[in-house]
Amino acid sequence: MSCYQLIYSSRPKVEVTESLVSEILSQAISRNNSLHISGLLIYFHGMFMQLIEGDKTAVDELFNSIQLDQRHGDISVLLQKRSEQRCMPTWLMGFSMDNEFSNQLEKQGSYIPFEEAKEICSLMPIEVGKLFLDFMNDARGR
Ligand SMILES: Cc1cc2nc3c(=O)[nH]c(=O)nc-3n(C[C@H](O)[C@H](O)[C@H](O)COP(=O)(O)O)c2cc1C
């Protein structure tokens, strides 16, 4: 079944702590389930990148909330399109980051180890996967 996909990047306005990430994830897991939204959220090098996918009305509704969220700014929409199929399995919003919070967040259900997230992205349609892989392979500051 076809779906609508939106990818954006943003910069947090607040310090990204484990409890902040945990709060975002618990909000995301319950609301995304009820909106039948799946996708992928990556936090890397002080930036977020997120794919949200599902019915267009649900994606628009969620993205409106995300845009109003004071916890981040500098939101850039990188891709918006219809797709024949979802990139992520039904109703899963995978989350990945490459730093020290990972061990604790693993218990929160949707956590995907960073290297595994790269593998998942390498199997996605090129248009979507390349945006994430470029983001996750960015060597700035390393
Ligand atoms: C980087 C980032 C990603 C987020 N992703 C989601 C998400 O996938 N699903 C979700 O329901 N909320 C997500 N949120 C939280 C929403 O922005 C919002 O706070 C929440 O959905 C409650 O919306 P409301 O204030 O309109 O009720 C995210 C927040 C941030 C900062």
Helix-strand-coil split of the chain, %, nearest 5: 40, 30, 30
Q: 28 CB less than 6 Å from ligand 1?
A: yes
Task: Give the residue among 52, 47, 62 at the shortest CA–CA distance from 12.
Answer: 47
Domain that holds residue 86: 3-136
Whether 40 is covered by a domain: the verdict is yes
The CATH code of the domain that includes 107 is 3.30.70.100
Give me the tens of pLDDT residue by residue for the chain, a chain 142 residues long.
789 999 999 999 999 888 888 888 888 988 999 999 999 999 998 999 999 999 999 999 999 999 999 999 999 999 999 999 999 988 888 999 887 666 667 777 688 889 999 999 999 999 999 999 999 998 554 4
* Atom 12 of ligand 1, residue of closest alpha carbon: 28
Number of residues assigned to the chain: 142
Whether 42 is covered by a domain: the verdict is yes
Our count of domains for the chain comes to 1
Whether 141 is covered by a domain: the verdict is no
pLDDT tens, 84-111? Answer: 999 998 888 899 988 766 666 777 768 8
Whether 30 is covered by a domain: the verdict is yes
Q: 65 CB less than 6 Å from ligand 1?
A: yes
Closest ligand 1 atom to residue 68 Cα is: 17
